Amino acid sequence: MAGFELIKRMFGDHGERRAAPRSGEPKEACILVVDDSPTIRAVLGKMLAQNRHVVLKAADGESALEIARTERPDLVFLDIVMPGMSGFAVLRALRHDLLTRDIPIVMISGNLQATEQFYVQRFGADDFMKKPFGRSEVFARIDNLTRSGRLVVRQRAETERIPAEPEPSAAEHAAIPDIAMPDPHDMVMPPAGQD
């Protein structure tokens, strides 16, 4: 397989060209972070903003759907276990909507049972990330999606520029941990019948 890649590089690949490189991290991607934990939103937001990505945040599934439909982010990090509308329900809704069905989605959870459920009921997510996670894990997911051609940063017109969230103060920024740990409520499964 490595030989085939070398030949393609030497003679060029005349197949479909993508707007983003197949390797390396895309710059200034618009990324939606959906998690009911303010800590997870802050930690993941900090990691992504440090690499010059525009970060949008949603604390629940309903807000996530609204933001995804109006802003059309380039990537979504989506928690599985949330009160109200679960991550699986949000995933299904995003995949059934013409505006959002092609957005790459990385599911995240600290719940072992939810992790197993994700692999059993794979509703079309592109990847999975288990809590706790650190910076290298987050950017490995982004790199994998970029290399596979799934993550392509959409060029936005000036009128369509997404305002970034206000920068936290130096003290607030220093208080945000570098590793995202699961919240205690992530450790229990939702009651039967909810997904």
Interatomic CA distance for residues 145 and 21, integer angstroms: 11
Nearest alpha carbon to residue 29 among 135, 104, 120, 112: 104
Q: What pLDDT, on a 0 to 100 scale, did the predictor assign at position 143?
A: 94
The CATH class given to the 26-155+176-181 domain equals: alpha beta
Q: What pLDDT, on a 0 to 100 scale, did the predictor assign at position 10?
A: 42
Check if the beta carbon of residue 20 is closer than 8 Å to that of residue 43.
no
Q: What is the pLDDT of residues 81-124, one digit of tens each?
A: 899 999 989 999 999 999 999 999 999 988 877 766 666 466 78
How big is the CA angle at 93 (ends 88 and 94), to the nearest 5 degrees? 95
Segment 160-169 shows an average pLDDT of: 57
pTM of the model: 0.71
Residue 139: band (very low, low, confident or very high) from pLDDT cuts 50, 70, 90 = very high
- What is the layout of strands, in order, in the sheet containing 105-109? 54-58, 30-34, 75-79, 105-109, 127-130
The per-residue pLDDT of the chain, averaged, comes to: 78
- Structural domain boundaries of the chain? 26-155+176-181
Segment 146-175 shows an average pLDDT of: 69
